[in-house]
């Protein structure tokens, strides 16, 4: 079969090995993976040389905030940033948009907004909020990949958090559907609202590890009771890793992700007043960071996603530096690959580990693993070519995020993306598909 294009290189990351290979592409898909020298007469060949060729990244935790709060990000800027960062598939969170994706009509409004404006392929989470159980089946049938809930106030009024009582109504329906429930796991009763001070240490003390630990214990218990698949988003408290490990070993259907900021920064190093470091749950101490890396090493933590959560710069209250009042959220969609690679290589991890965490495992979480997240025959030809040994200093003006305020400004990272291919094409226009389950 004559391919349309062959992309080859000396360091192609396959599921089990990194080796010289040629990737043959026809009608947007990978049709053959051959030796480096397997080329076909008359077919265009792109040679990546000694750059790394990896599957396009999959980021299943992105807040795009459109429609309704498009001034916070929007599909156009978010997906352009994704493409620049080697991300070819992202999944949008159901909140911060108005309407939120908690009803079928909300999902339809979301699709209407996204369609035609995306540089990469995009999927969608629905939301579980008090009283919307009847909307779950219609949204799932219409193509959301699963559902998110919050156990604490989400930060926006139109996406209410749930209590155990609400979950006892929603979870049997999720199990019936076979749908995954992803959970912002902090419990309100352990969050301290009466803290003195507005500096980083006060903020950190207000959202202690125990708020996460107790929430995760609750979700393990409910997952076991209702046999619902549960996934803990943005795990920050490493104290919860042993109980997750134990639950997983006992057959509870519970998984977890963490985020680049918890793996890169430490609470000890947050500069005074630097509210761009605020996110919930918070960046914790150095020892906690190292325990998160151990959780990745032993597989208790399944993957790393950005939790790209932007807002207009003024909402960060940089002038007062008030951590208690500033919006919580870190935008890092474009930077996930170099942040994770920089930290991972220092700890002895390989390109295979990073590809599992950034591509294959997130694709599997949302059941896109038949076509996304691996360089394999039959998969979409989503590829990123990048230079792992080239360092750069993060310069906010080079970010395509709508708002440039970032805690990564000035950080020196390794890993420069050279080219991103979406279904066999260099990305130069909004040609992304809506990925419906």
Which residues here bind Zn ion, judged by CB under 5 A?
307
Q: What is the largest CA-CA distance in the chain?
A: 72
In terms of DSSP bridges, do strands 412-422 and 425-426 run parallel, antiparallel, or are they unpaired?
A: antiparallel
* Shortest reach from residue 61's CB to Zn ion, in Å: 6
Measured from the CB atom, is 308 or 400 closer to Zn ion?
308
* Shortest reach from residue 127's CB to Zn ion, in Å: 12
* Shortest reach from residue 335's CB to Zn ion, in Å: 16
Measured from the CB atom, is 8 or 401 closer to Zn ion?
401
- Residue 283 to residues 80, 102, 235, 263, 274: CA-CA distances in angstroms? 27, 29, 10, 9, 13
Give the strand order in the sheet containing 230-232: 126-127, 147-150, 181-184, 230-232, 254-258, 303-304
Task: Give the per-residue SS3 of 276-315.
Answer: HHCCCCCCCCHHHHHHHHHHHHCCCCCEECCCECCCCHHH
* Shortest reach from residue 91's CB to Zn ion, in Å: 11
Q: Which two tokens stand for residue 410?
A: 């000035």
> Which residue's entry shows tokens 């404006």?
117
Measured from the CB atom, is 135 or 307 closer to Zn ion?
307
Measured from the CB atom, is 15 or 99 closer to Zn ion?
99
Measured from the CB atom, is 307 or 343 closer to Zn ion?
307
Instruction: Tell me the residue number closest to Zn ion, measured at CB.
Output: 307
Name the β-bridge partners of 330: 308
Measured from the CB atom, is 281 or 424 closer to Zn ion?
281
* Shortest reach from residue 124's CB to Zn ion, in Å: 14
User: How are the residues of the chain apportioned to helix, strand and coil, as percentages rounded to the nearest 5?
Assistant: 35, 20, 45
Per DSSP, the chain holds a count of helices (H) and strands (E) of: 12, 17
Yes or no: say if 59 and 308 are a contact pair by the CB < 8 Å rule.
yes
Per DSSP, the residues of 42-106 read TS-EEE-TTSEEEEPEEEEEE---TTT-GGG--HHHHHHHHHHTTEEEEEE-SSSSSS-SSSHHH
Cα–Cα distance measured from residue 157 to residue 420, given in angstroms and rounded to the nearest whole number: 37
> Which residue's entry shows tokens 């459109």?
66
Q: Give the list of residues 6+ apart from residue 311 with CB closer than 8 angstroms, or none.
A: 72, 327, 329, 403
Task: Say if residue 312 is exposed, middle or buried (CB neighbours under 10 Å; 0-12, 13-18, 19+).
Answer: middle
Cα–Cα distance measured from residue 207 to residue 280, given in angstroms and rounded to the nearest whole number: 8
Measured from the CB atom, is 307 or 369 closer to Zn ion?
307
* Shortest reach from residue 311's CB to Zn ion, in Å: 12
Helix (H, G, I), strand (E, B) or coil at 118: coil
Helix (H, G, I), strand (E, B) or coil at 297: helix
* Shortest reach from residue 334's CB to Zn ion, in Å: 16
Measured from the CB atom, is 92 or 343 closer to Zn ion?
92
Q: Which two tokens stand for residue 172?
A: 């049997």
* Shortest reach from residue 297's CB to Zn ion, in Å: 24
* Shortest reach from residue 234's CB to Zn ion, in Å: 6
Measured from the CB atom, is 277 or 421 closer to Zn ion?
277
Measured from the CB atom, is 77 or 420 closer to Zn ion?
77
* Shortest reach from residue 413's CB to Zn ion, in Å: 22
* Shortest reach from residue 309's CB to Zn ion, in Å: 5
Measured from the CB atom, is 257 or 380 closer to Zn ion?
257
Q: Give the list of residues 6+ apart from residue 176 with CB closer than 8 angstroms, or none.
A: none
* Shortest reach from residue 106's CB to Zn ion, in Å: 18
Measured from the CB atom, is 173 or 307 closer to Zn ion?
307
Q: What angle do CA 6, 8, 14 make, to 5 degrees?
A: 110
């Amino acid at each position: 079969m004559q391919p349309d294009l062959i992309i080859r290189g000396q360091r192609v990351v396959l599921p089990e090995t990194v080796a010289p290979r040629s990737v043959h592409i026809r009608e947007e898909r990978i049709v053959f993976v051959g030796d480096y020298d397997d080329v076909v007469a008359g077919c265009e060949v792109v040679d990546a040389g000694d750059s790394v060729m990896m599957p396009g990244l999959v980021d299943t935790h992105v807040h795009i905030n459109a429609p309704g709060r498009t001034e916070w990000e929007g599909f156009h800027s978010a997906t352009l940033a994704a493409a620049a960062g080697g991300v070819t598939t992202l999944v949008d969170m159901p909140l911060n948009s108005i309407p939120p994706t908690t009803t079928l009509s909300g999902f339809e409004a979301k699709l209407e907004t996204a369609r035609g404006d995306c540089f990469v392929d995009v999927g969608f989470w629905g939301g579980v909020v008090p009283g919307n159980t009847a909307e779950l089946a219609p949204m799932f049938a219409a193509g959301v990949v699963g559902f998110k809930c919050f156990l604490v106030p989400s930060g926006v009024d139109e996406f209410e958090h749930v209590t155990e009582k609400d979950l006892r109504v929603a979870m049997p329906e999720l199990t019936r559907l076979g749908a995954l429930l992803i959970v912002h796991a902090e419990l309100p009763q352990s969050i301290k609202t009466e803290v003195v001070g507005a500096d980083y240490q006060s903020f950190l003390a207000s959202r202690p590890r125990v708020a996460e630990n107790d929430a995760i214990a609750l979700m393990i218990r409910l997952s076991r009771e209702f046999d619902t698949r549960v996934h803990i988003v943005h795990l920050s408290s490493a104290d919860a890793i042993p109980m997750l490990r134990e639950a997983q070993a006992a057959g509870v259907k519970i998984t977890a992700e963490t985020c680049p900021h918890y793996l890169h920064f430490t609470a000890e190093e947050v500069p005074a007043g630097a509210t761009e470091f605020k996110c919930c749950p918070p960046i914790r101490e150095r020892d906690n960071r190292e325990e998160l890396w151990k959780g990745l090493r032993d597989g208790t933590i399944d993957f790393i996603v950005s939790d790209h959560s932007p807002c207009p710069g003024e909402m960060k209250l940089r002038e007062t530096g008030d951590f208690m009042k500033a919006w919580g959220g870190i935008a890092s969609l474009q930077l996930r690959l170099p942040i994770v690679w920089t930290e991972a290589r220092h700890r002895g991890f390989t390109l295979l580990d990073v590809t599992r965490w950034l591509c294959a495992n997130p694709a599997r979480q949302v059941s896109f693993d038949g076509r996304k997240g691996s360089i394999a025959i039959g998969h979409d030809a989503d590829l990123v070519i990048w230079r792992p040994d080239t360092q750069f200093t993060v310069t906010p003006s080079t970010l395509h995020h709508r708002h440039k305020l970032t805690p990564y400004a000035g950080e020196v990272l390794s890993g420069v993306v050279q080219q991103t291919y979406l279904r066999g094409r260099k990305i130069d226009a909004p040609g992304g598909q809506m990925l419906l389950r």
